Structure 1
Amino acid sequence: MLDYETEAARYDETRGGVPRAEAAAAAVLRLLPPGTRTLVDVACGTGLVTERLARPGLTVYGADAAHAMLRTAAGRLPGRAVRADARHLPLPDASVDAVSAIWLLHLVPFTGRIVAEAARVLRPGGVLVATVDKDTAHDVGSDIDAVLRPHRAPDSGSDRAGLVTAHAVAHGLTPAPGTSFTGHGQGATPRGTAEKLRRGYYASWFHGTPATVDRLTTALAALPDQDRPRDAPDYRLALFVKR
């Protein structure tokens, strides 16, 4: 997992910046029920998405465990950014209308605990909105995908939709139709993908040997247009309603 204390300074510019943040925020807002008054964006990072969720009548808070991320978020969310682990939110039971978790669940091995905590703080009728299947959304149908897909471990990824849904149902949340949005600026390049593979970035779904990594990076290096980004991914947002 990345060190988000050191990553904060360059996070926005390497993650699609404002266009991706605006697309994510718009997708979250599409899923909020009428009358939603409070939303907590867990693992809000720099707050680039979070600040774009605010609307008249909707108060939005950001929570993140990384000091450096939160310092940036605090400037975008004055008085509404708190340091907190997504597994231990400083909120009473049944106290908020919505919880969002954007680009979080694929990073952690404790998806169930985050979903359980969201369920705890949601009021009846409140919603959890979360990205699912993030890594598998990348490079679909591309030459990069053709190299990597045969090596994706089955049923892998801590944010796979089936797993998140199972946790949600176990904690009193009912699945509802979600939506999707474009991950602007996140199209992969063969060179960048090979580097990520060497660094273990895909550990959530790839469990190959060092020899396999060498073989795949060689195959990626043979692809044309090494630094041309492939198509931007379409990210999925799942929606769950508190019973």
Structure 2
Amino acid sequence: MLDYETEAAHYDETRGGVPRAGAAAAAVLRLVPPGARTLLDLACGTGLVTERIARPGLRVFGADAAHAMLRAAAPRLPGRAVRADARRLPFPDASLDAVCAVWLLHLVPFTGEIVAEAARVLRPGGVLAVTVDKDAAHDVGSDIDALLRPHRAPAAAHDRAARVDALAAAHGLAPAGATSFTGHGQGATPGSTARRLRAGHYASWFRGDPATTETLAAALAALPDRDRPRPDPEYRLVSYAKPGIS
């Protein structure tokens, strides 16, 4: 996994910036009940998405485990950014109306613990909204995808939709809705994908020895228009509700 203490300094400009953040925030709001008064954004990072999850009457908090990310988030979330592990949140039982996790579950093997903790802090009627199948959204149908797909190991994805559905059910959360949004500025180029592959950025889903990695990186670099971005990915966001009336 990336070192998010060092990533914080250039995270926003390398991840699609405000357009991508705005699309993600709008998607979260589509799945949060109109009467929700409190929301916690897990792994909020620099707070670029979190500050855009905004509407009248909704108080939004951000939590992240990386000091550098929280330093960047603090001006965007004055008094509402907390350092916390998503598995051990500093909130009482049944104290929040909504929890969201955008681009988190694919990074960690302890998805179940995160879902369990979210279920704990949600009030009856509260909603958990999470992105699923993130890695599978990239480069679908492109020449990059055609080259890499045979070497992917989708069953290992921690945010696989079917897996998250089962975990949510195990913790008493029922499917409540789904939406999608565009990852603006995230359309990869063959050249950038080759560099990321060599740097190990796809370790969460790529299977292959160093020789195979180098062979694929070279094949990516040889594709036509190696510096032309392919279409932006479409991310999927799903929600689960805690039974009861808040």
Residue in 1 that maps onto 2:84:
84
Distance in 1 between the 2:198 and 2:79 partners?
40
Residue in 2 that maps onto 1:74:
74
Distance in 1 between the 2:89 and 2:223 partners?
45
Query: 1:186-205 maps to which residues of 2 (within 5 A)?
Result: 186-205=186-205
How much has 1:209 moved relative to structure 2? 1.2
How much has 1:176 moved relative to structure 2? 2.3
Distance in 1 between the 2:176 and 2:204 partners?
26
How much has 1:177 moved relative to structure 2? 2.4
Residue in 2 that maps onto 1:127:
127
Query: 1:206-221 maps to which residues of 2 (within 5 A)?
Result: 206-221=206-221
Query: 1:1-243 maps to which residues of 2 (within 5 A)?
Result: 1-243=1-243
How much has 1:96 moved relative to structure 2? 0.2
Distance in 2 between the 1:135 and 1:171 partners?
25
Gaps of 5+ in 2: none
Larger mean CA deviation between 59-68 and 146-155 belongs to: 146-155
Distance in 2 between the 1:201 and 1:158 partners?
15
TM-score by length of 2: 0.97
**Aligned pairs, number:** 243
Distance in 2 between the 1:154 and 1:80 partners?
36
Gaps of 5+ in 1: none
Letter in 1 for 2:174: T
Q: CA RMSD in A?
A: 0.9
Residues 142-166 of structure 1: per-residue CA shift (max 9 Å, x gap): 0000000111114121111111111
Percentage of identical aligned residues: 77
Distance in 1 between the 2:44 and 2:167 partners?
21
Distance in 2 between the 1:41 and 1:107 partners?
16
How much has 1:54 moved relative to structure 2? 2.1
Distance in 1 between the 2:153 and 2:2 partners?
21
